Structure 1
Amino acid sequence: MDSIQPGSLASLSGAEKDELMQQVKQEIAVANAQELLTKMTEKCFKKCVLKPGTSLDSSEQKCVAMCMDRYMDSFNVVTRAYSGRLQKERNRM
């Protein structure tokens, strides 16, 4: 994305501002997904792979799969709770 000069947002039309906001939201979502995947991979690898080698044995594969499932389940619970709180705050305003 091109850098935005100070004051240049004022010259954008409503549709252009909406498009820019969508692009920013999309980039934030991609960055969040990349961070989630990186953290999940690091934590599950550290937990499940005690002696790194050229491949994972079946117990390591099972451990990593279960760890990633639990991590995603936990992430989804936290995300839903956070979204619910945000919605309640918005409704109060």
Structure 2
Amino acid sequence: MDSFDNFSASEKAEATELQRMIAIEQQKAQFQAQVHTFTDVCWDKCVDSPGSKLDYRTETCLVSCVERFIDTTLSITNRFTQMVQKGAH
């Protein structure tokens, strides 16, 4: 049974659009949280003492740190997706 059974067509469309907008906002919030995590982890790892600008070593460390973090996150996500798909069959 659909939770929208008692709604008119326009109400169903509005509810569907609202759900879509909520999902987009949740994705934005997750992305923002991930950026904060990158910043915290990589800052602590790479920045010894903040100055007026980053030196080459610090900048390189930050870039590498974020890239590793992204690669690891994607790898874990892909592996989890494979496990879920395998379990569904």
In the alignment, which residue of structure 1 is the partner of 2:54? 56
In the alignment, which residue of structure 1 is the partner of 2:73? 75
TM-aligned CA distance change 1:63 to 1:83, over 3 Å: same
Measured against aligned partners, the alpha-carbon deviations of 1:14-71 in whole angstroms (never above 9, x if no partner) come to: 2222111111110110000000000001110110011111111000000000001001
In the alignment, which residue of structure 2 is the partner of 1:4? none
TM-score by length of 2: 0.78
Give aligned pairs, total: 82
How much identity, in percent, do the aligned residues show?
Answer: 28
TM-score by length of 1: 0.75
Where do 5+ consecutive residues of structure 2 fail to align?
A: 1-5
SS in 1 for 2:48: coil
In the alignment, which residue of structure 1 is the partner of 2:3? none
Where do 5+ consecutive residues of structure 1 fail to align?
A: 1-9
